[in-house]
Amino acid sequence: MRLDKLLSELGKATRSEGGKLIRSGKVTVNGEVIKKPDHKIDPLKDEVSLLGEVLTYKKFTYIMLNKPEGYVSATDDEREKTVLDLVSDEDRRKGLFPCGRLDKNTLGLVILTNDGDGAHKVLSPKHHVSKVYKFESKFPLSENDIKALESGVDIGGYLTKPCKIKLYSNLTSGEITLTEGKYHQIKRMLEAVNNKITYLERISFGGIVLDPTLKRGEWRYLTSEEEVIFK
């Protein structure tokens, strides 16, 4: 791989900024200053440093983000703030995108990655990856509501797949586990039983649990154990 490409893939600089950094002697390869942007390196074997910082190369990046309200799950948007805006330029690796969508006013776990195949796998309906959401509803949920929601309701021409609901004792909040993700699915499911979602937060995705130490808007890289679902 070209040295300038490595810097741009890791989100350290654009290709032309990277070229400038390299030409001005800010980059070393195995301890030696290299001034040619097209210098070929093996990103998995060579030790590349930028301004003294060793760059670690991994083909794919996986980020766990605690999404606040008011951000859209997109890579860019003309009017709205996007979940990518929560990752600083320095850490925003090329090609990062949100793996699945949360509504603008839904909070919680979003995974960002540049692994298209991995994301396709976990989002594909045939893999039945489960997602757990905490919810609050406007009105109490009855036993019949729970039965209907768990066995499947019509959300405008689509019958939802079976799901699991754990209702808290106040009957207006709980956890719902889905293995699919239709547009506004939970909101539409509650509407199907004449109720309304007033709070929605994703707390788990494919067994990856939202890290309680992350405040809203904060993120961290997935651990290698957590990354396994993408492999």
Name the residue nearer to ligand URA (CB basis): 106 or 195.
106
Q: Which of 38, 33, 46 is nearest to 19 (CA)?
A: 38
**According to CB under 6 A, which residues from 105 to 124 bind ligand URA?**
106
# residues contacting ligand URA (CB under 6 A)? 8
| Shortest distance, position 206 Cβ to ligand URA, whole Å | 15
Positive or negative CA dihedral for 184, 119, 74, 207? positive
Name the residue nearer to ligand URA (CB basis): 15 or 184.
184
| Shortest distance, position 106 Cβ to ligand URA, whole Å | 3
| Shortest distance, position 187 Cβ to ligand URA, whole Å | 4
Asked if residue 137 binds ligand URA (CB under 6 A), the reply is no
Question: What would the two tokens of residue 163 be?
Answer: 């799901």
| Shortest distance, position 84 Cβ to ligand URA, whole Å | 17
Asked if residue 187 binds ligand URA (CB under 6 A), the reply is yes
Specify the pairing of strand 107-113 against strand 197-205.
Answer: parallel
Q: Which stretch binds ligand URA (CB under 6 A): 78-86, 89-97, 99-107, 112-120?
A: 99-107
Asked if residue 185 binds ligand URA (CB under 6 A), the reply is yes
Question: What would the two tokens of residue 172 be?
Answer: 């207006």
| Shortest distance, position 190 Cβ to ligand URA, whole Å | 8
Asked if residue 91 binds ligand URA (CB under 6 A), the reply is no
Catalytic position from the list 85, 91, 103, 211: 103
Name the residue nearer to ligand URA (CB basis): 12 or 187.
187
What whole-number distance in Å separates Cα of residue 22 and Cα of residue 39?
10
Name the residue nearer to ligand URA (CB basis): 178 or 229.
178
Active site residue 103: yes
Residue in 10, 119, 186, 222 binding ligand URA, rule: CB under 6 A:
186
Active site residues: 103
Interface residues with ligand URA (CB under 6 A) are: 102-103, 106, 184-187, 200
